[in-house]
Structures are given as structure tokens and as C-alpha cells.
A and B are shown apart, each in its own frame.
Chain A
Amino acid sequence: MSRFTQVDVIKITNVANGSSSICGDTGTIKADTNALALQREMPYFRHEEGNYADYKIFSETIPRLDTAPQMNLEIDNFASSIHIGNIKILAVSSASTFQIGCNDSIELVSKVKAIRQFVTNKPPGPTPYGVTIF
């Protein structure tokens, strides 16, 4: 399974959080990411805050098909090629994949726990950063 790939222009601004951007052929792509999305009314965050062990979703296993469907598949890639003109991508994020070419299998997992925190004992006046937000 291989194909000749020709690309004129690709412009990608950001590839983040366990994502990949591949031009050409690969075997297996496996990526996973865990994230705690904490939105706090007060923009104050301690250095070592947040523990994945406190939240159930990060230890939960995801049921998935382990075996590929058995079928008689013959692929003829003789004289096949991929030609790309222009691609413009702003962001590839959270265990995502962008590929031009062939691969065998892709396995991606992303887990996000969102927490919103409203603070009742806000300090009066401007924040330490000199910006009034309340």
C-alpha cells in the first residue's frame, strides 16, 4: 500500500496536544490525550493543580473493536498517485491526525473534563496583573 504523493503548498498554523501531521505513508498512528479544561471566574491558577486520578473519565476504558473485519481485499496501487494543490489548516488539536498518503490503521482517543468554577470570595479591586475583571 504505497502511493506517490505530490503536494504544492500546505500551510498549517498549529499542531498541538498529541496530534500529527503526516505527508506520505505510515503504518499505524496511535494518539491519545487527556485534558482538564478548567474555566475559573478568577484568572488565578496554582502551579501544580489538577490531578487526573480524581476524575473517573480518565481511567475509564473505551470499548472498541480489536480485530479488523476479515475480508478478502486486494488493492492495486499500480501507477496511482495523489496530487494536492493548496491546503490551509488553522489548527490540528487533541489527538487528531492530518495525513496525505496511506496508512494501515488509525487509533485516536481524546478525553476532556470540563470544570467551571465561580468564586464567591473574590478580592476587591484590580487583580495582581493590573486588569480589572470583576
Chain B
Amino acid sequence: MTVINKELQVGSIRIVGISASSVFLIGDTKVINCSSIYDTPPESLIVGPFVPLGPVGRTQA
């Protein structure tokens, strides 16, 4: 397949947000590989006395 690129003209674009591994591209690319995980299980709703999250620096739970 042969692709011949000519002129690409863009007037005005207004964007509020590009978020969570998204792409806004004016141009060319060969491969795009995007993935996003958003985890909100029922267990992540914690009701109880104040307990801070596990401290930084440990390598295991």
C-alpha cells in the first residue's frame, strides 16, 4: 500500500482534558498501544476508624 501525504491544515481546536493514557495527535504514526486500568472495587470503600494506608518503602504487603 502506498500513502501519499499532502498538506494537513487545522484551524482551531479547543480541548479541556487529555487524560489516562490518551493520545491527541495531528500527524502520523505507525503503532499506538494505550492501556488504562482504573480499579474501584467495593472493598475500596472503607468505613471505620481512621487508619492510614500502609507506609511507603516496603516491598511486600
Least CB separation from B4: chain A residue: A76
Q: How far is the CA of A100 from the CA of B15 in the complex (A)?
A: 14
Kindly list chain B residues whose C-beta atoms are within 8 Å of the C-beta of A121.
49-50
Partner of A85, one of B1, B11, B24, B29: B11
Query: What is the size, in residues, of chain B's interface with A at 8 Å between Cβ atoms?
Result: 57
Instruction: Output the residue of A38, A53, A64, A65 with the most chain B CB within 10 A.
Output: A53
Contact B8 A105 (CB under 8 A): no
B37 to chain A, nearest CB (A): 5
Least CB separation from A14: chain B residue: B17
Contact A49 B53 (CB under 8 A): yes
Contact A97 B47 (CB under 8 A): no
Partner of B21, one of A44, A80, A109, A113: A109
Contact A54 B53 (CB under 8 A): yes
Tell me the chain B residues, 14-37 only, with Cβ under 8 Å from chain A: 14-37
Contact A1 B31 (CB under 8 A): no
Known contacts A95-B21, A96-B21, A96-B23, A105 near B50 by CB under 8 Å: no
Encode A63-93 as 1/0 by CB contact (under 8 A) with B: 0110010011111111111111111111111
Give 13 A-B contacts (CB < 8 Å), ordered by A residue. A53-B60, A54-B61, A68-B30, A76-B5, A83-B7, A84-B10, A91-B19, A92-B24, A100-B26, A103-B27, A105-B32, A108-B22, A110-B20
A46-B55, A97-B18, A105-B29 known, 10 other contacts, Cβ within 8 Å: A54-B53, A80-B6, A83-B10, A84-B26, A93-B19, A94-B21, A95-B21, A106-B23, A106-B33, A107-B31
Chain B interface residues (CB < 8 Å from chain A)? 1-40, 44-50, 52-61
